[in-house]
Chains A and B, each alone.
Chain A
């Protein structure tokens, strides 16, 4: 596709349920990022992949959050035992390889709005 896609666009979960959020990056982009955007706030970094390797997960708020990118393309952010404070928009972004230039720009998807009741 032409851009980063995310699914579902909207997710409502009952407290305690597990959820999985999917990100399809731009084809050929080796870097993939997840951000969390709470209501009225700017996005905050969660985790970073280079190909299939998760190089930084320092922003994940708790051990209930888990991200994977097993084949270096599609990524899934999983949240176990969701809590109300997990309600936010989860944004995925990707960047091209450094040698291809433009690696400084992150291209964002439309996000998944998670509401935990």
Chain B
């Protein structure tokens, strides 16, 4: 079984400032890691994912995340946020084995970009 902790429920940040949204996970097996974004009244859109290889993963809209196995973290970063980045962000984990399929999500972090 896996679990995900998103340490911050809300993060306000000024436009053009950098942001980091934190995610820690717990698992007894190797995992795949994901970040999804949810805009109001919309479904989840995949931002980026880590499956294997380079621990620094680049996604859409200028976001990137770094997988740190020793710290069991997968923090999401963007060097300069825009108003349009205001949304809720979910970190998710899934076992990497062939029989693993369900995603386990954190509770989400609401990012508010202040003009």
User: B49, A104: Cβ atoms under 8 Å?
Assistant: yes
Tally chain A residues at the interface, Cβ within 8 Å.
24
User: B101, A31: Cβ atoms under 8 Å?
Assistant: yes
Provide the main secondary structure of the chain B interface.
strand
User: B105, A44: Cβ atoms under 8 Å?
Assistant: yes
Q: Which residue of A42, A45, A59, A109 is within 8 Å of B108 (Cβ)?
A: A42
Name A2-37 residues within 8 Å CB distance of B: 4, 31, 33, 35
Q: Smallest Cβ distance from B38 to chain A, in angstroms? A: 9
Size class of the B contact interface (CB-based, 8 Å): 20 to 34
30 CB-based A-B contacts, threshold 8 Å: A31-B101, A33-B101, A33-B102, A33-B103, A40-B107, A40-B108, A41-B107, A42-B90, A42-B105, A43-B44, A43-B103, A43-B105, A44-B105, A45-B104, A48-B101, A48-B102, A56-B101, A59-B102, A91-B43, A91-B44, A104-B49, A104-B51, A105-B46, A105-B49, A106-B46, A108-B36, A108-B44, A110-B42, A110-B43, A111-B43
